[in-house]
Amino acid sequence: MPLVSIITITYNAESVLERTIKSIINQTSKEFEYLVIDGGSKDKTLEICKKYSSDIDTLVSEKDNGIYDAMNKGLSLAEGKYVWFINAGDEIATKDTFSKILGSIKKGTDLIYGDAYFVNDSGNIRGLRSELTPHNLKPKIVWEDLKFGMLVCHQSLLVAKELAPAFIRNNLSADIDWEIKSFKKALNPLFMEEPLCKYLEGGISNQQLSQSLKDRFKVLASHFGLIPTILNHLIILTRGIKKIISNRGRYW
């Protein structure tokens, strides 16, 4: 059994996939299996995958019902003790990041999390997520801390497979639900003080922002209740306005 299953979800991602793959296969430690779950790409995505076929343990390419359907497929195929989603366009932070994670895991560790770098389409780092957004990290996050939204990028979150839930369907904020459920179940989370990933801005949540915000409200209300979620969203709105003002018209 590999210690970690690293899973990449991709669809028509020829412009960004190669840097994702390289960031994974060039890690100094190789105690992982690598899975690529493709949604039946029509561009050169599969050509890129075939170029690195010797480094990809499992490659699936078939039509799916969206990113979270594909992520569930990856979960079902993963054989590692932990699962880690590094999707097309995202990267592991440095070539030594995985090795440092392995050196920090203790007996009983069931969830590992850390910060993320925001990168643009060219892969250039814009800054830390915890500094560019109101989502401040701390060493001891509990699931109740997620009442204001997603504190941790799922690309900076490793979860023991035995407690990793399935992603809910037809919800653009399914990753927030997945994160909350994972923190609820975790007994011994581990906080890494350095960033774990490079997160490519402009994902599906940003592309369909209005629907994503509605879906986020549904997710948070399902965990924290309707009235508390309404009140918490007033705080979220206030923080967002302050962030926009301080950034001269931009949220991040």
Residue pLDDT, tens place only, 62-121:
999 999 999 999 999 999 999 999 999 999 999 999 999 999 999 999 999 999 999 988
% of residues, the chain, pLDDT over 70: 91
Residue 227 included in any domain: no
Q: Cα-flanking dihedrals φ and ψ of residue 82, to 5°?
A: -120, 155
The residues pairing with 184 across neighbouring beta strands, listed in sequence order, are none
Domain extent at residue 54: 4-207
pLDDT tens, position by position, 149-194: 889 999 999 999 999 999 998 899 999 999 999 999 999 999 999 9
Residue 130 included in any domain: yes
Domain count, the chain: 1
| Cα torsion angle, 227, 229, 230, 234, sign | positive
Contacts of 72 (CB under 8 A, 6+ apart): 166, 167
For 111, the enclosing helix (H) or strand (E) is: strand 111-113
**117: exposed, middle or buried (C-beta count within 10 Å: 0-12, 13-18, 19+)?**
buried
Residue 232 included in any domain: no
Q: Which of 84, 77, 82 is nearest to 157 (CA)?
A: 84
Q: Which of 174, 44, 158 is nearest to 109 (CA)?
A: 158
Q: Residue 88 and residue 92: Cα distance in Å, rounded? A: 11
pTM over cut 0.85: yes
Residue 240 included in any domain: no
Residue 221 included in any domain: no
Read off the CATH number of the domain in which 63 is found: 3.90.550.10
The residues pairing with 10 across neighbouring beta strands, listed in sequence order, are 38
Residue 18 included in any domain: yes
